[in-house]
Structure 1
């Protein structure tokens, strides 16, 4: 039995957890070969304080988005220096990380968040860790907190990230362009044909209760051309808000735990309106669903959006708050053959760089290399 330890960060529902859960699902079906466990180092170190930290983090983004964006860019995105040190993180977590590894005795560690990766990179630099470590990046860029030099393997989202790591001196044999990994049950590509007398559009991005999704929905003014399905997740306030609108063309959907059900919703969708979070975007890129971005949270999502727009992979709905014809703007893109042809060209260019191997196959190859 091969023990694999997954390290996201915080307990809030985020891309770090979704990616880890999908990889665990993929590995768990391999004839009982893998014993996977997912642990948040903050909860492991401080227990219930994690819930307080998560709450403060979300409120900070919601109430002071510009401040968060500025601090994020200055601290972990701009002005890169070799061997950045984040001594506060080391002081708070490094001994706990050593204790966790000694307790769990994993054969392989997979980081889906930058902070655990940074800590493990420090342990490897100090010759205190020989267990192979994989970084799995969940955004479309690599921030400076991620441990890089001493990490054994890197599963990167795009060819630009591969080039970035190679410029840092990482051998290409240690880098795999996987895209942001998605759950294996969302990889079914079958799509039912239907009469195109009405579009079905998913709306996502309200699960954490931050952002402008309520204002956006109020601006839609649906006609009979588009039927909207809003993924509310665990945001009960959003679900109630849409229910009370009593608009037959805007249907709220509560938390969906079934990946098969989510997969079917994707198959029925002609487009999605969302924020540029790494996992949702990756799922839609895989499904080749046209993506409209209505809002980006400060920090990671803003940087993701810049990349996605530059690559022509998303359509941004700009200045929607001051428009009265938002649905016309959406239809003008869905009905435009030139827009759709351009999108297909960009999607083809994006997909041609991705590894053809399943994540589990790559991990088995890595374990064979290390003779585990």
Structure 2
């Protein structure tokens, strides 16, 4: 259960989990359901559009409101979120009655909150797994009655334990990536130019166009821009006719995305959870040029605290981006320091494959059901 129909990390993680389940011996019938579309139909498009416009037009207000409502709470204060209950609880009950699922996996906080409320009131006993898609846990996520938690870091693991969650119910998986995004491979050496990916323009949000306009390629870096479904961005790049800036339209194949990562010496991106998780898996140097208000701001703070990414400064000025990237790529000391931080981060994650974790969790849930 993700939320909204926007092509977000919630959906990418859900798709990846479904692919992992398909790889197991047992057969699974999986279905993604967005509770907003299920409840209010076409109104979802209006909400999605308003959400994106809000972020663009009033970023500071959105950031303030998100922090106030979803992150910052007074000690021992539990927000009631009465509006969420009023709008969606009745429909969640209907959904469960209609689908009769054996397991529910939440990749967004809202359905997790609703299902947790229902379990606490004994409205249903269906096992629920939280799969967190950012590098923090906002206050909306349900915890008390959730059966398992797939968390992105040891910090979230510790936070859940403090909330009273049994450590055996928590798996430090990192943010799950699609199984076709394989671990990093050796990159091609002795190439005439460095290869740098640019992503973050899929939804038209952020400032990727400004970034590209100010690149001022010197000939030392070949840039590949992942435009996603942002047709305007793709057309803009095609019209530049710059041989050092290559535009890629939407790529549906995860294997193709994985290959592009393998060819890259670095990536310039926004701190969206899934993209960052893929880059951490591939051990690619990450350069953050912009963070959308709310979730991405908090993700960025996590990355900087852990030393897992670089902040691009003065990226609106011509030529500054390339200077900063080359400074890192041409420094063995900086590259080794980054690899040290990456090794430390990966050492904090479980060494067990997600397929194996899912197999064990499902077997345990099945045994509990029989018992």
Give the TM-score, by structure 1 length: 0.96
Q: Distance in 2 between matches of 1:126 and 1:303?
A: 32
Match of 1:62 among 50, 56, 67: 56
Q: Distance in 2 between matches of 1:304 and 1:69?
A: 13
**Deviation for aligned residue 1:171:** 1.3
3-state SS of the aligned residue for 1:322? Answer: coil
Q: Distance in 2 between matches of 1:314 and 1:188?
A: 18
**Residues 297 and 244 from structure 1, CA distance in 2 versus in 1: closer, same or farther, beyond 3 angstroms?**
same
**Deviation for aligned residue 1:188:** 4.5
Match of 1:236 among 221, 231, 245: 231
Matched, 1:107 2:76: no
Aligned counterpart, 2:19: 25
Q: Distance in 2 between matches of 1:367 and 1:27?
A: 10
Q: Distance in 1 between matches of 2:55 and 2:328?
A: 31
Q: Distance in 2 between matches of 1:108 and 1:194?
A: 46
Matched, 1:128 2:98: no
Q: Distance in 1 between matches of 2:7 and 2:242?
A: 29
Q: Distance in 2 between matches of 1:245 and 1:193?
A: 28
Q: Distance in 2 between matches of 1:88 and 1:38?
A: 24
**Deviation for aligned residue 1:192:** 4.8
**Residues 350 and 294 from structure 1, CA distance in 2 versus in 1: closer, same or farther, beyond 3 angstroms?**
same
**Deviation for aligned residue 1:189:** 3.5
Within a 5 Å distance, the mapping from 1:160-239 to structure 2 comes to: 160-239=155-234
Task: Decide which moves more: 213-222 or 78-87.
Answer: 78-87
| Runs of 4 or more consecutive aligned structure 1 residues displaced over 6 Å after TM superposition | none
**Deviation for aligned residue 1:138:** 0.2
**Deviation for aligned residue 1:359:** 2.0
Aligned counterpart, 1:8: 2
Q: Distance in 2 between matches of 1:345 and 1:148?
A: 33
Q: Distance in 2 between matches of 1:244 and 1:196?
A: 27
3-state SS of the aligned residue for 1:364? Answer: helix
Q: Distance in 2 between matches of 1:367 and 1:35?
A: 14
Deviation digits for residues 149-192 of structure 1 (CA, Å, limit 9, x no counterpart): 11111100000000111111111101100000000000243345
Aligned counterpart, 1:3: none
Match of 2:322 among 300, 324, 327: 327
Q: Distance in 2 between matches of 1:192 and 1:299?
A: 34
Q: Which runs of 5+ in 2 are unaligned?
A: none
Q: Distance in 1 between matches of 2:139 and 2:320?
A: 41
Report how many aligned residue pairs link the two structures: 366
Aligned counterpart, 1:157: 152
Deviation digits for residues 40-74 of structure 1 (CA, Å, limit 9, x no counterpart): 00010011110110000000001111110000001
**Deviation for aligned residue 1:32:** 4.7
Q: Distance in 1 between matches of 2:268 and 2:187?
A: 21
**Residues 38 and 273 from structure 1, CA distance in 2 versus in 1: closer, same or farther, beyond 3 angstroms?**
same
Q: Distance in 1 between matches of 2:189 and 2:195?
A: 11
Aligned counterpart, 2:304: 309
